[in-house]
Amino acid sequence: MFTQAGQVKVKIEDVKFATAKFAQGPSDFDICIMVSNIDDPAQVDWWRGEISADYGKGNFASMTQAEIAMKTLHNIGFEGGDLSTLKDQLVGKETTAMIKAVPSKKDESKIFYNIQYLGSGSGGNEPKPEEELDVADVKNRISALFGGAADVAEKPAPAPKPAPKAEPKKETPKPAATAGNPFGNAKNPFAKTK
């Protein structure tokens, strides 16, 4: 548990998958990351990133929880979209955590210090043993959520189409996929349509 609010340098100690704490969909799940304070390793807590089709709130209202979580993961060093490699890629890395003071709902004189952001994102807590998911279950849930998009990252990217020559606009074409797109080169199933 952290003991004061503010930005803290942290080290990633563990990564687990768990059933979603807030989302209600049968395929929804959380990515749970345990971090410790670099200056005081006894201060340890968990960040939870929700993988669901539910939309965020406030500044994140245009993004799904899956997009928000994946953006956070990429910001702290995760490369690619294969979540089965998440633990291998992140454990031991250093990043920052924003710790927020939160008064207890039962006793406002009691203060909890929770991870509000890890790199960037939202907070959470350690998954209970009965919440934990194995990598095979996570792949099945991704497939169910994204219509089979879990296998897309393994396929080669399609060749880019040539730009039309009729209108010589000076716009930069958008890449087929971005570093924050967990769906490889496939269309993001959670992107809002106009």
* Sequential pLDDT tens for the chain (194 residues): 999 999 999 999 999 999 999 999 999 999 999 999 999 999 999 999 999 999 999 988 999 999 999 999 999 999 988 999 999 999 999 999 999 999 999 998 899 999 988 885 445 566 777 888 888 899 898 888 887 654 444 444 555 556 555 555 555 444 444 555 555 555 655 655 55
Do 153 and 142 touch, CB atoms closer than 8 A?
Answer: no
Angle at 69 between CA 64 and CA 74, to 5 degrees: 125
Q: Which residue has the tokens 């670099």?
A: 38
What is the rounded distance in angstroms from the CA atom of residue 62 to the CA atom of residue 148? 23
Q: Which residue has the tokens 């799940």?
A: 29
Local structure of residue 64 (DSSP, 8 states)? B
Tokens of 159: 């060749």
Among residues 91, 87, 99, 93, which one has the least CA distance to residue 1? 99
